[in-house]
Amino acid sequence: MSSLFTAADLASATGGVMTQPFHADGVSIDTRSIQPGELFVALETGARDGHDFVAEALHKGAAGAMVHRQDGMPDGAPLLVVGDTLAGLTSLGAYARTRFTGSVVAITGSVGKTTVKEMLRVMLGACGSTHAAQASYNNHWGVPLTLARMPPDFDYAIIEIGMNHPGEIAPLARLASPDVALITAVASAHIGHMGSLEAIAEEKASIAQGVLQGGALVLPANAGLQERIAAFAGHMRVLSFSEADVREVSEDPDGSDVLADIDGQAVRFRIEAPGRHMVMNALAALTTVSALGARLDDAAQALRDFRPVAGRGVRRPILGGRATLLDESYNASSASVRAALAVLKLQPARRRIAVLGDMLELGDHSRAEHVQLAEPVAESADLLYACGPWSRVLFDAVPPRLQGGYATDSVALAAMLLPNVRDGDMILVKGSLGSRMRAIVDALENAG
């Protein structure tokens, strides 16, 4: 098997100087997961300086390291010296994009990005060789890293693009240069940084700036995006999806059977993940498959093999099978909390318990966004356990019969929750990443 990058590729792509020639079979920024033969990129992230881990990376078999300083490096180390390692990684990603012979999909949206990415991984994988990041690598280093790892001769690549401040999506979209771009949804996530839903829609629409001539943009029909992409619509096709595309749907605790209109074609599919939001994610993914010109029937059939990913809707038994965890702990917004509560409501259980942490980055909208969850909590849950200052607002807003317990942080809430779990309980855990709801998931999984 040929290398992902030859020595000439590495030097040409980055403009760097090699202390000795080496080729690379992959690209890594983390010594905990680095594989022999990979290029280690010594990024400075603020919290950590990758240069401090070069020796460890080489000891674990790295082919060489991209660095922007050489002091403290092991004697005789194979180095690719660049002006800045983040810029070097970005250049390497751009080089990988120029030589890629397949089709690229870029995904953004307030909710559903990673879930739709994983749906597309399964569906496009049934149509050809497909590359996608294993995690939510969707920021200023994650996008170039995902691009840099692309095998040049694959049929498809899926690039996830995130944001939490204005102006972040367009440059990443231009770097990815997608053949098809997808906006999954426009919702209030990060509204504290963005100021308004209109500003969020504007930022999401900027992904269109990266779409190649003759490419396509897929977007939700009712998100107020059409007028914002009008300036770019001349060089691309625009496809939309909406609830109105669903002709028939039968929901159950494990998933949904659906007949939908996908870009003018009637498509039946089964998705093994419950909730109407998962149906909408599937519509977005299938419309993207159609925009690519891939085999829609094969993709729809493959969707049956999709399963939710960790922290985003995985259900699993806990406490020796006496109770069930619905793990939504990775992140949270108003839209995703409502969707998770709707799934909780579908589940057969003696008691349905919602364990919620704060939704962050909502700014002046924080109080209203949390209070407005009181009604869906009351409709879906028998008990609410909550942690964090904004979740206290929600906890106080629900009827006393629903108030299971409140704590200031997730660790304290876990200690409060565990003794009160009963046989047959279904427990939803959800909150923003900064609320550290994973601590509650770990406590539930490790108990018994």
- Per residue in 198-211, pLDDT (tens digit) is 888 888 889 999 99
Q: Tell me the pLDDT tens digit for each residue of 201-247.
A: 888 889 999 999 999 999 999 767 777 777 777 789 999 999 999 99
Band (430; pLDDT cuts 50, 70, 90): very high
Topology annotation, domain 314-446: Protein-Tyrosine Phosphatase; Chain A (3.90.190)
Q: How far is CA 236 from CA 178, 279, 280, 400, in A?
A: 11, 26, 23, 54
The full set of domain ranges for the chain reads 7-85, 100-305, 314-446
Phi and psi of 184, rounded to 5°?
-75, -40
pLDDT of 1 > 60? The answer is: no
Beta bridge partners of 385: 355, 405
CB-based contacts of 59: which residues, under 8 Å, 6+ apart?
Answer: none
Strand ranges in 232-375 using DSSP code E only, listed in sequence order: 236-241, 246-252, 255-262, 265-271, 314-318, 323-328, 351-356
Q: Tell me the pLDDT tens digit for each residue of 27-48.
A: 999 999 999 999 999 999 878 8
The top-level CATH class assigned to 100-305 is: alpha beta
Give pLDDT, residue 298: 96
Give pLDDT, residue 305: 96
The token pair that represents 262 in the structure block: 């996908």
Per-residue buried b or exposed e for 293-309, using 16+ beta carbons within 10 Å of the residue's own CB: ebbbebbbbbbeebebb
CATH of region 7-85 = 3.40.1390.10
pLDDT of 110 > 90? The answer is: no
Q: Tell me the pLDDT tens digit for each residue of 287-300.
A: 999 999 999 999 99
Band (111; pLDDT cuts 50, 70, 90): confident
Per cent of the chain over pLDDT 90 is 82
pTM over 0.85: yes
Q: Tell me the pLDDT tens digit for each residue of 6-17.
A: 999 999 999 999
Interval 101-118 mean pLDDT: 94
